[in-house]
């Protein structure tokens, strides 16, 4: 799994490529990257999952933990550009009722509250 970080306005965008799975555990996890952004004062988080080919239960847990950490600090956590295969995982687990998922990065960015 490769992670690239960028910002647009007050939104931290995290681009993920590859597979989000337990064997990818390193010193820095997706949840830790989100927490680092939150600690730096960025409360709007957008995950771009366009290049994610696979996610296991560990990866789903990382995303859910990131969502909860963001919510607990009054922030907004959203995801964009998810493949149909990955979307199905979130749909079957009923996380689509909790997580905000957008077809495009642009529509996700527009949905964040304007300051």
CATH of domain 2-111: 3.30.750.24
pLDDT score of 26: 62
* pLDDT band, very low/low/confident/very high, at 113 (cuts 50, 70, 90): confident
Say which residues have a Cβ less than 8 Å from residue 83's Cβ, sequence separation at least 6: 49, 50, 52, 53
Task: Please state the three-class secondary structure of 15-41 as a single string.
Answer: EEEEEECHHHCCCCCHHHHHHHHHHCC
115 falls in which pLDDT band (50, 70, 90)?
low
pLDDT digits (tens, 9 = 90+) for 76-96: 999 999 999 999 999 999 999
Taking only the tens place, the pLDDT of each residue in 35-58 is: 999 999 999 999 999 999 999 999
- Could you tell me the pTM of the whole model? 0.92
Q: Are 39 and 69 in contact (CB under 8 A)?
A: no
């Amino acid at each position: 799994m490769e992670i690239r970080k960028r910002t647009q306005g007050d939104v931290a965008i995290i681009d993920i490529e590859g597979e989000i799975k337990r064997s990818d555990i390193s010193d820095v996890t997706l949840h830790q990257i989100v927490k680092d952004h939150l600690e730096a004062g960025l409360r709007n988080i957008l995950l771009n999952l366009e290049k994610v080919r696979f996610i296991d239960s560990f990866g789903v847990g990382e995303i859910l933990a990131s969502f909860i950490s963001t919510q607990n600090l009054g922030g907004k956590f959203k995801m964009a550009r998810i493949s149909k295969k990955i979307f199905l995982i979130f749909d079957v687990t009923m996380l689509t009722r909790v997580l905000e998922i957008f077809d495009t990065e642009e529509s996700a960015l527009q949905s964040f509250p304007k300051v």
